[in-house]
Amino acid sequence: FNKSVPSEELEFADVWDNVMKEVEHQIKESGIEIHADFDNLSKIWYPRFHLNSILLNLLTNAIKYAKPGERPRIRLKTEIKSNRPHLTFSDDGIGIDLERHGSKLFKLFKRFHDHVPGRGVGLHIVHSIVNSHGGYIDVESEVNKGTTFKILLLDEDE
């Protein structure tokens, strides 16, 4: 990813609101329940386009991979851990079998569920952006229970 994209001070709530506007139709259609908590870390120094892409891909995946017939729920939380900015994004969707697919999780064009349309690029994009800034992603998932992404949002230019 292009590291020349300029970083700026961003309000998580503003970026999140913009992301939700981008997929407003999907949000309404899915009936998704969203709990966002930016109280512990409301601002970050990061490229706007990159943070937007991370949040957009995680949100659209949470909607796509919701349990059929159930109202999807996601939780979003930002906080400082060990003096570093972290984002935790959890959903209660169909989950990913990490034992089976964990090594391929962030690979381009890899898909783990065939019942929804997709090209297998969303998590690859998220991973590439986070890594390009010196951060990392930890994933916890259980089939039929949901998935949690714990992301260290570093900006190496800090």
- At residue 123, the pLDDT reads 80
Question: pTM of this prediction?
Answer: 0.86
Count of the separate structural domains present in the chain: 1
Q: Does 16 reside within a domain? A: yes
Q: Does 2 reside within a domain? A: no
Look up the domain containing 67 and give its range: 8-152
Q: Does 59 reside within a domain? A: yes
Find the DSSP H helices in the chain: 12-22, 24-30, 48-64, 98-101, 122-132
Q: Which residues of 5-20 are buried (b: 16+ CB within 10 A; e: fewer)?
A: eebeebebeebbeebb
CATH code for position 143 = 3.30.565.10
- What tens digit of pLDDT does each residue of 103-133 get? 666 554 454 445 554 445 568 889 989 999 9
- What tens digit of pLDDT does each residue of 17-52 get? 999 999 999 999 999 999 999 999 999 999 999 999
